[in-house]
Structures are given as structure tokens and as C-alpha cells.
Structure 1
């Protein structure tokens, strides 16, 4: 009992219903007429404001061209992490780059026509045979439900400069820059293959297997 009372005094302080009166001796405050002091409230540390990425809301690096089913409104699917709900970025607005391997061969913007449409056009224009990957930097905010928001009317000048710097660092990967762009540290999405691609692969495998058994 003494050990329990000692532990309670240590943990609860003045708010403990027991009081030590000697070595191994304790009294119950209520029985002795001692008013119990309410426990001192512990102040919670202030939560720091979450950093908001006001210019670049989302981006994807070196996404594969062959992971997309190319139709006039293709699905540009991405996930914040493996297993997370996917987001369709085909209506995203912003800047994109086309690569031949690791080399940037084209820089474009998606404004009047969204990202998905612009990329689709490059599968049939003069660049159609020259690119196999692309990166993109989006301006439309992404909600928790995975929906794209609306484009802000304007941006503050001091926020534009670090955003442009961040895009250049990510896109060009200069060797002397030891850190990523500040505005892009928490908004990268990884590519998710269009489910239609996998369906076609399964269908082709089945047809090939059946073809072997046909006389």
C-alpha cells in the first residue's frame, strides 16, 4: 500500500488524495480534513502552422509514357504513396517536360488545354517518337478526396521566385544544388499505371496461351 501511495504522490503531485507524514506513513487527505489542490493544468505546446505550398500544389517526376492509355482524355494517375487513393491529374494546369531517356527535349505549359490533353497531342505531333517519359508541375490544389480545385486569381511575387527555382532544380537536377526546391518537398506524386493497360496485358496473355492450344 505504501508503494502505491508513494507512486501516486510522485505522479499526481498536489492533486494526489494521499499525503506523506513520515517514513512509510501516509494519510488520506479527505479523512484528515486537508483540502485537495486541483491538479495544475499542463499547457499543450502550440502547434506550428502547416507549411502551405501556394504555387506548386503537386508534381510528378519521370513518369512513364507507356503506363498511360492514350486517348483524347487520358487518365494521368498518381498516388501520394504506395497504396494511397489515386488522383487523376489529366485536368491539372501547369508546366511539363518531355524526356528522351534523361534528356529534356521539350518544355511546355498546360493552360488553355489541361495536362492530359497536351500530353495526348504530343503522341501524334512532331515529337511523337522522341519522348518516353515526362515530368509535370501542377498549380491546381488537390483536396483530401483527390479532387482538383480551381486556379487562384493571382500569386504573391515573393512566392513566385522560390517556386520557379524549385521547378528548375527538380527538372534540371544541377549537381551543385544539394537540396530540393523548398516548395516541392512534400507534394510529389508517384505514377500509377492506368488499369486499362493491365487489362490489355492480361487479355494478350490469355489470347497467346489459348493460341498455343488451338490445333
Structure 2
């Protein structure tokens, strides 16, 4: 299947499914079907942006309709082949996301923009300001979270051994310091909750969040639920829509392991 624009891919998936879908499920299916060769660093946000922008620009002629929170459907449901060969002539926007899309057009995220859970200490090549690499999902581009700001937890297995914040110094620097201080032998995993949002090209940017007592309370509840995993809490905190990122191993680790293996083989010759 040839390279599709984001809108062609979205319409293909919605037509194939035949019923409303959450934008995250639409994104996952686009990647599963390999409908594009480049997904950027934030494919879910990109899909949500295209859907929201198409509806906002011209609700009457948009090929999509929003049926509930973060859930979309086609106004008409052509067959997948029709969607691919003859994209809707009503589609007025195509290609990449318009940089003018505002956060208010998208699903409310809250104070926490991104987070990672139980990332492995051994998957980071530790040095001063090390890359802390992750991706939104398989197929997405890798993002370096070393400059992320927010709060983090150190774990020994599943137990939380330390809670810290990265405000005056970014997360990569703070975590590196814990490989040298009194906590160095007391953690093997870490979790983090970031205040900076991730752009499509993998950059970290500040957001203009309007603070309120409710927003702060929701954020605190969500961080505690995610970080401590209380047995009686069977869901996330209300309003917690931050994107979870999966850890990606630093390529330098694999390179060093390969060099060590070659050196070991040479020594035996």
C-alpha cells in the first residue's frame, strides 16, 4: 500500500471499522496497517489534531463528526477502497498538521503533559545529562526527555524509594545525580511526570496552563494513583489524559555491548 496522507489514512481506518473510534485506536490501526512511512514523535496528537481541525474549520462539510469525547466517525462510510482511491472532495485540509491548531481544540490534557512508568535504569547510558529516550508507541519517532521538567519517582522493584522534582535542573541531570549519591544502590527503575508537552518533531515546549484548585488536585491525585498504584483505585485520576511514553534503550548501550563482545572474541584468538 502506498504512502497515504494523514487524512487518507484516517478515513481508511474509519471506513474499514464502520463505527466510531477513539482517536488513539485510529492511530494504532494506522500504524498496524503501515499506512504511512513517517509518524512523527506524537502520532496520536497528530491524528487528534487533524480530526479536530477538520471539524472546527467547516463542521457542515467535514468528512468527520465527533460523537463523544475523543471519539470520531465518518459522516458517510464508504468502503476502504473507495476511501483510498477517491479521497473526499470535501476535504479541505490535507498533509501535515496546521501549526495554528490550539491546545484548546484538542482533548483537555491537564497539567501533566506526558509520563513514563517503571523505566529501567539499565536502559540508560548514564553520564552527565544523559539522553532519556522514549516513544509514544512502536513506529513513532524517539523523543529525548532529558530536558523534561516535573516530578519523578525512584523504584526498587515495585517499591517507591524516593520522590523528587526536576525544576531547577532537568530530569536527565537529576536522575544522573542519583546514580552517584546516597541513593545509587537503592533504585533500578524510575517513573516520571512531565510538565512540558511534546511537539510532532519531538521537541519539549512549555504550555500555557491556567492553574486552578481543581486542576492541582486532579494532578496530585493522578500522580499518586499512577505512582503508588493503590489496590483500591481501579482507574486513573479524573481528567488525567497525559500521554504515556514507552522507554527506548539508548543505542550507545548496544554499541558498547557489541564492542565488548568483539574485544572478548579478539582476546581469545
When normalised by structure 2's length, the TM-score is: 0.60
Alignment partners' CA distance in 2, 1:46 and 1:111? 40
Residue 43 of structure 1, CA deviation: 8.3
Equivalent residue pairs, number: 173
Contact kept, 8 Å, 1:56 with 1:183, in 2: the verdict is no
SS at structure 2 position matched to 1:146: coil
Which of 211, 218, 230 aligns to 1:162? It is 218
Unaligned regions of 5+ residues in structure 2, if any?
1-59, 70-104
Structure 1 gap segments, 5+ residues each: 1-40
Q: Structure 2 CA distance, aligned partners of 1:78 and 1:137?
A: 13
Check whether the contact 2:110–2:240 (CA below 8 A) recurs between aligned residues: no
Tell me by how many angstroms 1:212 deviates: 1.9
Aligned residue runs from structure 1 range 117-128, under 5 A: 117-128=173-184
Residue of structure 2 in register with 1:62 after alignment: 118
Shift of 1:145: 1.1
Q: TM-score, normalised by structure 1?
A: 0.74
Q: 1:153 to 1:57 in 2, by over 3 A?
A: closer
Matched, 1:146 2:199: no
Mark the structure with the bigger radius of gyration.
Answer: 1
Structure-2 residue corresponding to 1:29: none
2:197 partner SS: coil
Which residue of the partner structure matches residue 194 of structure 1?
250
The residue aligned with 2:265 is: 209
Instruction: Check 1:183–1:73 CA distance in 2 against 1; reply closer, same or farther (3 A cut).
Output: farther
Structure 1 range deviating more: 150-159 or 81-90: 150-159
Q: Provide the alpha-carbon RMSD of the alignment.
A: 2.0
* C-alpha deviation, 1:204, in angstroms: 0.8
Give the match for residue 112 of structure 1. 168
Which moved further from structure 2: 189-198 or 45-54?
Answer: 45-54
